[in-house]
Amino acid sequence: TVSVLYCIVFKTMTYRLGVDVGGTHTDAVCVSVDGGSKLVSSHKTESTSDLIKGLVEAAQHCVDKAPANCVITSVTIGTTYFLNSVVQRSKLLGRVAVIRLGGRFCKTVPPFSDFPKDLKKLINAGTFDVAGGYNFNGCEINPVSDEEIAKVATEIQSDKAISGVVVSCPFSNVNPSQELYVKEQLVKCWSSEKQNMHITCAHETSSSPDMLKRENAAIINSSLLNYSSQAMQDIKKAVTSIKGLQNSSVFLTQNDGTIMTLSDALKYPIKTFGSGPTNSSRGAAYLIKQQFETKISETGAIVVDIGGTTSDVTIL
C-alpha cells in the first residue's frame, strides 16, 4: 500500500489503529508495529444512534495523540453493528425469499422453522420448494427444473417487498453446482430492475454439513445486505475523512479471530457476528501473556464481555 511504501522510503515509525464500536461506547487504540506491539494512544467516547460519529471522534483523538511522524498503515474495526440490528429487530432488515432445492425430500422442516416468531414475521417473504438437491456423496437427487425456477422468478419479481433471495440445497457444501445454476437462472429470468437483487447461495455463508445451519446463516446474511451496503460506504467515508488515515487500509474483524476487507464485509456481514467476544478473547489472551509471562494454554481463562446489548462468556 501507499502508506507502507512511504514508511520504507522515509523510515518512519508504523502504527495500526483499532476501533471497537459498541452499543454504548466506542473505544480506539493506536499501537506501534515496530519492535513489538506498544500502546501509543487511546480514547473512549459514548456511542450515539449515529455509530459513525463515535468512530470518527474516537479515531481522530487517537491520531491527534500519536507521534507527529507516525504513519498509520491500517484501521481495524470491531463492531456489533449488524448483530444488534437483528437482536433489536431493526426495521432496516430486508425481507428474504427462500428457494429450497430437494422437492418432497426436504419438506419436513421448512425454512424459518427455528426462527423466533417476531424475527420470522419481520424478514420472511415466502418460501419455495423446487426439484433438485444432492445426496451426501454429491450425486443428484433430482435435476433442477428450469420451468419451476422460471415460475418462481416471476412470482418473486412481482413482489416489490422482497429485497433478497436465498438459494438452499442439500449437501451444497459438497457440491454447490445446483445453487449456482439457480442463481444464474434467476438473473436471466428477471427484468433489468430486479437483476440487482441480492441472491445468496447457502454454501457461500457456511461450510457446515447441516443444511439448516447453512440456510439460516444465508437468510440472516441476505436480510442484512441492503443495510451493509450503506454501512460500508459510511465506514469508508468516515475513515478517509480523518487526517492521517486517507491512505490506511480498512478492515473489519470476523468471528474466527481474523480480519476481512470492506468488500468482503459488504457481501458477508454475518461473518462479523460474534466478533465482539472473539476480539475480547484475543485481547485477554494477549494481556495474560504480558502480565503473567505465561501462555494461555498453560493457565486457561474465563472472559466475560458485558456489552450494552448482549453479554458473552468465553473459556480459553
Q: What pLDDT score does 62 carry?
A: 86
Q: What pLDDT score does 192 carry?
A: 64
Render pLDDT for 249-261 as a digit per residue (tens, 0 to 9): 899 998 888 899 9
Q: How many CA atoms lie within 13 A of 38 on its CB side?
A: 10
Render pLDDT for 59-106 as a digit per residue (tens, 0 to 9): 888 888 887 777 888 899 888 778 888 888 988 899 999 999 987 778
All three cell numbers of 269, joined, read 456481514
CA 268, distance to chain mean position in Å, is 5
Segment among 46-50, 93-97, 183-187, 233-237 with least mean pLDDT? 46-50
pLDDT interval class at 195 (50, 70, 90): low
Kindly state the percentage of the chain with pLDDT values over 90: 30
Q: What pLDDT score does 234 carry?
A: 85
Mean pLDDT (the chain, rounded): 85
Reduced 3-state DSSP string for the chain: CHHHHHHHHHCCCEEEEEEEECCCEEEEEEEECCCCCEEEEEEEEECCCCHHHHHHHHHHHHHHHCCCCCEEEEEEEEECHHHHHHHCCCCCCCEEEEEEECHHHHCCCCCCCCCCHHHHHHHEEEEEEECCCECCCCCECCCCCHHHHHHHHHHHHHCCCEEEEEEECCCCCCCCHHHHHHHHHHHHHCCCCCCCCEEEEHHHHCCCCCHHHHHHHHHHHHHHHHHHHHHHHHHHHHHHCCCCCCCCEEEEECCCCCEEEHHHHHHCHHHHCCHHHHHHHHHHHHHHHHHHCCCHHHHCCEEEEECCCCEEEEEC
The whole-model pTM stands at 0.82
